[in-house]
């Protein structure tokens, strides 16, 4: 029997979903799906992502505080995670191709912690970032994942792998006008 993949969600997945294609009023099923899949042990994130989201003070922040399962954002402070994070930071800092600004931004973001947590816990990082191995201006999560043998996927790949389907149903209060 094949092992089911478990996913670790980057902040950009939640933020972009909230802003665009899975807005709360448009597709509440997406948010219900995340909570349900988390309860099945298949989807989570980390405390540092939660912190990034809570800086926004918007409806996503309210979802995190009021509706999201409390255990969705795991602590990323364990010793093995810190060791893997250190390796990622050394790798990033050692690369002359990245600008000093890119290195500093990476050091302040949750990204390195996300990759480290995924590596230690055998999780797939879910991000909207695409690999950019020649980038000087930004350290991309997929490039760090590739360096450390961590799998990554985008939102849609994760949803498909979990056999997620969002369906439409007519609302009686909505009326078509001509």
What are the tens digits of pLDDT across the range 130-144? Answer: 999 999 999 999 999
d(CA 99, CA 169): 49
- What pTM was estimated for this model as a whole? 0.92
69: which 2 tokens?
């399962």
DSSP 40: T
Determine the pLDDT at residue 155.
Answer: 97
Which residues of the chain have a pLDDT value below 70?
1-2, 172-178
Determine the pLDDT at residue 3.
Answer: 72
Q: Where are the alpha helices (DSSP H) in the chain?
A: 11-19, 28-39, 47-54, 59-66, 79-94, 100-108, 111-121, 141-148, 155-161
Q: How open is the CA angle 129-21-35, to the nearest 5 degrees?
A: 85
Determine the pLDDT at residue 172.
Answer: 65
Q: What is the pLDDT of residues 86-103, one digit of tens each?
A: 999 999 999 999 999 999
d(CA 83, CA 120): 10
d(CA 13, CA 158): 11
């Amino acid at each position: 029997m094949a092992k089911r993949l478990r996913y670790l969600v980057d902040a950009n997945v939640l933020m972009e979903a909230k802003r665009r294609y899975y807005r709360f009023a448009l597709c509440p099923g997406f948010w219900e799906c995340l909570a349900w899949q988390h309860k099945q042990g298949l989807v989570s994130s980390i405390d540092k992502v939660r912190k990034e989201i809570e800086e926004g003070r918007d409806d996503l922040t309210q979802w995190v505080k009021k509706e999201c399962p409390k255990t969705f954002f795991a602590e990323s402070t364990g010793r093995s995670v810190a060791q893997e994070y250190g390796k990622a930071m050394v790798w990033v800092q050692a690369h002359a191709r990245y600008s000093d600004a890119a290195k500093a931004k990476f050091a302040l973001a949750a990204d390195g912690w996300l990759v480290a947590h995924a590596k230690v816990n055998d999780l797939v990082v879910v991000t909207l970032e695409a690999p950019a191995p020649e980038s000087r201006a930004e350290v991309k999560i997929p490039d760090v994942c590739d360096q450390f043998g961590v799998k990554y996927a985008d939102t849609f790949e994760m949803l498909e792998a979990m056999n997620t389907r969002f369906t439409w149903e007519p609302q009686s209060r909505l009326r078509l006008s001509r």
